[in-house]
Structure 1
């Protein structure tokens, strides 16, 4: 019965993988083609592109790990370097996605929020410079992150060269290895906390501005009010997906060395898949350029189907 449940979750993950590849691939291809055509790229498009590329890596790693759980659950115990390699690419893609989400929250907060504090106004005028500085800080953090993972890889290789017959638990205690991985995930709480705080402040600012516009309009329909409401709903859905994703990823790391139930693990993986699979379509609907290109693409596909 447990094997049947694992196959069901794997089928769900495959569908989420296809959805994530289509959404993130569309964003990356459109923005890269647009930047090559215009020979320039805006800061927001650059963040979108990095976010899409990182989430493509995330869905690949999650799918491969799901296939591993269903067909070869014992492979990580007998091939230590494979496990460290999985962790390397997972931390790379997850860290990139975390900091891109933080930069996105900072960009939208400084662009759309309306606060009268002098420090906020000073930051608002230097929006691009602030976001660019944060991204440089992310690069430094990512460098130390990769050094830590590389150090773990070298330690595993050294132990394997000394005694090939030692098991994973003997050559490197599993709890020690995954404790370092949990610390890496705890480090991602900083950009996650920044994203949540800024998005909540932005939603509060949009809600207050919407109330003021509705009050002054005296019940008449206002186009700008509708745009603000859609923006607020988009941000709310993003916050929900982001929190669910990072709770699921933390549970995945914890389950690696505290739980032997593969069904629970693959179920947590399926939940972690939701953020990189669904959020790109929220970005497409929220961006006028991406939305128009997607509508034109769907119309071309529909016309080709009718011709057939």
Structure 2
């Protein structure tokens, strides 16, 4: 039964891997083509490119880790392999989460309307604000890597003192749990920021609809549609982000209680976020949606 579930989880992960690479690769390709042809790229498109690249890296690292755990678990005793693997996953995960959060902030500053002088100041300097936030997130990344590096050094020191295979494998679960707990805690910050942006966007939409009902009854306002489209993108991000955080929390618990099948389930749930959210970003972006429809039409015509 356990081997059957492992096979099912592996097939699901491979399917998510294919979808994630196609959706994120499509985002990178279309925006790069536009960059080359027009010699310029909007702030949103620049964010999307880096976001998609980070997610491609995250998906590849998860798949590699999956097969290493299944077929070559002894590789985790190698300090170099372990450090590179965890650090690269942490960096990719950091940019995958924070760039999506920055995208939520961008929608808020571009679309929402508040009379606060502080908000108007940020709205007029949205590109600089986004750049400063991105640079500020590097502090979180640096602190995260320092904390994880401490865990890795402690683990490798224990391995050097006791070379017993049973000792190494039993204590690896404790080491992995501490690393995942650290990652989960650092992932809560961008989720909180994205949630605040979402709530402010909802409040702005509510104020706008109230104004429309009082002053423009019976008229359709394009700003309302822009609001709603932005809300759909942010809602999809928050829901998938919440499932990703839940998978990280469950993964930590699975390491604490050494439940291998639960750990596999958590990994398949975790990969669903970087794979499917990019697909939803394509549907929510007019340029990417139109390009995807053209590609689909050409593929269908050749059949």
1:31-59 CA distance string (max 9 Å, x none): 22322333333322121111111111121
Q: Which residue of 1 aligns with 2:13?
A: 13
1:181–1:253 Cα contact (<8 Å) kept: yes
Q: Which residue of 1 aligns with 2:46?
A: 46
Provide the TM-score with structure 2 as the length reference: 0.86
Secondary structure at 2:41 match in 1: coil
Where do 1:128-147 residues align within 5 Å? 128-147=127-146
The answer to whether the aligner puts 1:35 opposite 2:29 as a matched pair is no
Cα distance in 2 for residues equivalent to 1:9 and 1:168: 28
1:284–1:291 Cα contact (<8 Å) kept: yes
Structure 1: gaps of 5 or more residues:
none
Aligned residues: 303
Cα distance in 1 for residues equivalent to 2:263 and 2:183: 20
Cα distance in 1 for residues equivalent to 2:169 and 2:238: 41
Cα distance in 2 for residues equivalent to 1:171 and 1:152: 16
Where do 1:183-194 residues align within 5 Å? 183-194=182-193
RMSD value, Cα: 2.9
Q: Is 121-130 or 219-228 further displaced after alignment?
A: 219-228
What is the deviation of 1:160? 6.0
2:111–2:227 Cα contact (<8 Å) kept: no
Secondary structure at 1:116 match in 2: coil
Structure 2: gaps of 5 or more residues:
none
Where do 1:80-119 residues align within 5 Å? 81-119=80-118
Q: Which residue of 2 aligns with 1:298?
A: 296
What is the deviation of 1:79? 4.4
Q: From the superposition, tell whether residues 290 and 132 of structure 1 become closer, same or farther in structure 2 (CA, over 3 Å).
A: same
Cα distance in 2 for residues equivalent to 1:168 and 1:30: 50
What is the deviation of 1:274? 1.7
What is the deviation of 1:210? 3.5
1:210–1:229 Cα contact (<8 Å) kept: no
What is the deviation of 1:144? 3.9
Q: Which residue of 1 aligns with 2:263?
A: 265
Q: Is 155-164 or 141-150 further displaced after alignment?
A: 155-164
2:198–2:231 Cα contact (<8 Å) kept: no
